[in-house]
Amino acid sequence: MSVKAVFFDRDDTLNYDPGYLGDPSKVELYNGVPEGISILKNDLNFKIIVISNQSGIARNLITEPEVNSVNNRINELLSNYSTKIDAFYFCPHHPEFSEKPCNCRKPSPEMVFKAASDYNIDLKSSYFVGDKISDVECGNNAGVKTVLVTTTIKESERLLLQNQGKTPNFVADNFLDACNIIAKDSTGGNV
């Protein structure tokens, strides 16, 4: 039986991004993240999957073990609220710093498709939440509904999306707002 999922960007969506986060002691979740994930996972039975670009690895600024330790720290913090991320997928590449081109870097939907295959996810009943143009494009490319969190995006980036006809399905003021939008939409409520 297929399941539904919410795919989240990590940095500046779930947690504050100090730039190439590799130190788990510096992980600070945004307000509403534990509560929002708990609603989606525990109350509405969504799989929770993180899809992130981690180009700091290709740039030799952070390592894969450091990224994994940050991901583990996020789940430690979420465990205090009896919830967690089911899986983390990340692209370690960057076009200017990697030896060969990759197919996984957002806005490519490859990581979403891999997660969908790994967890038998029905993409038509799933969502992608992020704070960047590449997150909306990734979700659109994967065929899921998209939610743009406007916590850190510049108005010029939003206008660029609009001008390119790549607008998200929903726009949220913050993380918890995004989760409430998904809760309403997925249960047939008005958004």
pLDDT of residue 159: 78
Q: Which of the residues 9, 131, 135, 177 is marked catalytic?
A: 9
Active site residue 135: no
Q: Which of the residues 11, 131, 135, 177 is marked catalytic?
A: 11
Provide the residue range defining the domain that includes 129.
5-186
Whose tokens are 């929903």? That residue is 170
* Number of structural domains in the chain: 1
pLDDT in tens, 58-78: 999 999 999 999 999 999 999
CATH number of the domain that residue 182 is part of: 3.40.50.1000
Residue 66 placed within a domain: yes
Residue 191 placed within a domain: no
Q: Which of 32-46, 129-143, 149-163 has the least mean pLDDT?
A: 149-163
Active site residue 9: yes
